[in-house]
Amino acid sequence: MLKVAGWAGVITAAVWVCAGAWAQSSVTYGRVTAVNLVTTESGGAQAAGTVVGGGIGLLAARNQSGSTQALAGVGGALAGRQVGRLSSRGQAFEYTILLGGTTTVTMVTDEGGFRIGDCVAVERGAFNNMRLADDRRCAPNAPVPAVAVQRSNACIAAKDTLLIAETDEEFDRAERRVRLLCRD
């Protein structure tokens, strides 16, 4: 039985209950039917590049007048956006997975190594994850073991912790947990 003392205890208990509910996931199995290399972009890095570039452009133009100053600011913003775009691009793998012989899903991840024909567990919840599975799991009507859902929930909880990390040490520890709990 959970005992709580005062409002702090009630709030703590509510956070635990919500975190447990938030970490729920579903696990289904399917076969990889296609693999493509794709380029991903982070809109946040582009926006940050625009803001920083605009600021640099304005600083460079502070001794200019009127329209020259405005043009320098816009030019800096465009240059910053381009720098942000280049730094935000990355390579990833797009996997097409046939679930249950009837439904197709696509997942994009930076994790390579899956091949056409591989049986994979597709974990969906607050975050999605994909991991290699035993071929027997892709048989029609194969049950999902409870341990698979537990592993999926642990992965989601690790990703939640990574998102709320506030220090470099917390981030490093959380990132290691994600690598350990979310991969095969």
- At 89-105, the pLDDT tens digits run 789 999 999 998 889 99
Report the range of poorest mean pLDDT among 59-63, 87-91, 122-126, 135-139.
59-63
What pLDDT was estimated at residue 17? 39
Determine the pLDDT at residue 16.
Answer: 38
Domains of the chain: 25-37+91-182 (2.40.50), 43-88 (no CATH)
Instruction: Tell me the mean pLDDT in the region 175-181.
Output: 92
The CA R_g of the chain, rounded to the nearest whole Å, is 23
pTM flag (> 0.85): no
**Which residues, in sequence order, are CB contacts of 150 under 8 Å at separation 6+?**
none
Give the span between the Cα atoms of 107 and 119, in whole angstroms.
14
| DSSP letter assigned to residue 140 | T
| pLDDT over 90 (residue 64) | no
